[in-house]
Each structure stands twice: as structure tokens, then as C-alpha cells.
């Protein structure tokens, strides 16, 4: 599968077959994530892989947009390192690059998963304190996303996209 095909065909998957992931597959996904660009090549990302059914179910408790975790054989908790001192002085617009870097790594992981016949769903609906406690996330790091992963039970249609004519600006906004 070429890169453009993976980009255009990837979908958020919210139902999965009851099939676990090989350890080597999990490692390949994280390796693909690690090829993302990052500011100063800082690579501020960390990946926790969870398969424990009770823990996956707990991540859905009291949340609204996380039901796919009840069927997912696994999930990544993706964390970013936040340096105590910002790398960029305040006023430069971007105080931390960590979220950008980590989001790029997540997208790599999603595309690699799709290319390998897996499905993923990026989940932003989580309680930071709950994740900190459950996964022993140390100070200086913060969870950025939960990524449900597994073998897709179905192929959803593409969700509508804003047309290029609307989002592309030539020269000025
Ligand atoms: C930062 C972020 C947070 C998201 N959070 C959730 C979520 O909590 N639950 C969910 O079902 N989907 C979530 N999504 C997935 C989006 O709903 C999905 O990407 C969007 O509807 C486009 O659909 P597609 O991924 O199939 O192209 C999230 C996506 C991103 C990038």
C-alpha cells in the first residue's frame, strides 16, 4: 500500500474482531510512530500498550465517546514529555512542541496500522488524572491520546471533508 492510499483510506474504526495483536505488530506500530518528525529531533513521545480487558473497560467508564474500547483488543496510551523549561521563549507563539511532535507520531501509527490491515480510533475523551493513576504516568509527562487498536469488524465510509477550495489559501488567508 502506498502512502497516499493509506492516508486516503484510513478510517476511525469503532468495532473490532475478537483477535489479539502480536507483540511484534505492536512493536512495528511504535517503530513507525517513531519515524515522525519532531522539533530538534526531541522525540518526546512514550507509548503504553494495554490489553487488560478490565483496564480497557475502565477507560470507558463515565465517558461519552469511548465505547469502542469495550471491543478493542488493545489500546495505546500516548504520552508526551513536557520540558520543565519551555524550549521556546514565551511570546514566540509555540511554547511547547511536544504535542505537535506526538500528534505526528500518532498519525504515523494510525497509517502504519491501516497499512497492516488493522483499525484504530484516536480518542481524546479521557480524564488525565485517571490515566495518570492507572498507568503510573510520571510528572513531566502528560497523556495526549488513547488509541484503540484491533482488527476492524467493518469498513466505514469516508466522513465528509471540507473541500480543498475552501481550506487552501493562495498567498494570504
Ligand atoms: C484529537 C482527536 C480526538 C478524537 N477523539 C475521539 C473520541 O474521543 N471518540 C471518538 O469516537 N473519536 C474520536 N476522534 C476521531 C474523530 O471523530 C475522527 O477522526 C473524525 O470524525 C474523522 O473520521 P475518520 O477518522 O474516519 O476520517 C478523535 C480524533 C482526533 C484527531
Query: For residue 168, is it within any domain?
Result: no
Q: Which domain holds residue 140?
A: 12-154
Q: What is the structure's pLDDT at 93?
A: 41
User: What is the pLDDT averaged over residues 44-64?
Assistant: 97
User: What is the pLDDT averaged over residues 79-96?
Assistant: 64
Range list of β-strands (E), 20-138: 45-50, 74-81, 119-123
Mean of per-residue pLDDT scores for the chain: 93
User: What is the pLDDT averaged over residues 102-123?
Assistant: 98
Query: For residue 97, is it within any domain?
Result: yes
Query: For residue 4, is it within any domain?
Result: no
Please state the pTM of the whole predicted model. Answer: 0.94
Question: 147 C-alpha vs ligand 1 centroid, how far in Å?
Answer: 10
Q: What is the structure's pLDDT at 87?
A: 53
Q: What is the structure's pLDDT at 1?
A: 87
Is the pLDDT at 138 greater than 90, yes or no?
A: yes
User: What is the pLDDT averaged over residues 94-108?
Assistant: 88
147 CB near ligand 1 (under 6 Å) = no
Query: For residue 87, is it within any domain?
Result: yes
CATH number at residue 120: 3.40.109.10
159 CB near ligand 1 (under 6 Å) = yes
Query: For residue 6, is it within any domain?
Result: no
- Overall domain count for the chain: 1
Is the pLDDT at 50 greater than 50, yes or no?
A: yes
Confidence of residue 96 (pLDDT cuts 50, 70, 90): confident
Cα 57 from chain centroid?
Answer: 18
Query: For residue 163, is it within any domain?
Result: no
Q: No. of H helices and E strands in the chain?
A: 6, 4
User: What is the pLDDT averaged over residues 153-168?
Assistant: 96
Ligand 1 atom closest to 156 (CA) = 26
Query: For residue 60, is it within any domain?
Result: yes
Query: For residue 162, is it within any domain?
Result: no
Which residue reads 500498550 in cell numbers? 49
Question: 89 C-alpha vs ligand 1 centroid, how far in Å?
Answer: 32
Distance CA 110, CA 12 (A): 9
Residue nearest to atom 6 of ligand 1 (CA): 123
Residue nearest to atom 31 of ligand 1 (CA): 122
Cα 101 from chain centroid?
Answer: 12
Amino acid at each position: 500500500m502506498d502512502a497516499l492510499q493509506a492516508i486516503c483510506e484510513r478510517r476511525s474504526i469503532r468495532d473490532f474482531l475478537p483477535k489479539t495483536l502480536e507483540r511484534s505488530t505492536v512493536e512495528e506500530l511504535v517503530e513507525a510512530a517513531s519515524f515522525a518528525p519532531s522539533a530538534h529531533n526531541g522525540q518526546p513521545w512514550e507509548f503504553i500498550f494495554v490489553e487488560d480487558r478490565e483496564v480497557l473497560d475502565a477507560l470507558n467508564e463515565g465517558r461519552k465517546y469511548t465505547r469502542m474500547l469495550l471491543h478493542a483488543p488493545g489500546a495505546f496510551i500516548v504520552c508526551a514529555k513536557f520540558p520543565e523549561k519551555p524550549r521556546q521563549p514565551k511570546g514566540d507563539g509555540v511554547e511547547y512542541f511536544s504535542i505537535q511532535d506526538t500528534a505526528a507520531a500518532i498519525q504515523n501509527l494510525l497509517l502504519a496500522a491501516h497499512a497492516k490491515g488493522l483499525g484504530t480510533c484516536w480518542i481524546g475523551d479521557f480524564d488525565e488524572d485517571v490515566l495518570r493513576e492507572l498507568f503510573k504516568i510520571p510528572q513531566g509527562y502528560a497523556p495526549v491520546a488513547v488509541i484503540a487498536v484491533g482488527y476492524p469488524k467493518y469498513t466505514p465510509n469516508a466522513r465528509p471533508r471540507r473541500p480543498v477550495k475552501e481550506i487552501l489559501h493562495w498567498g494570504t488567508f
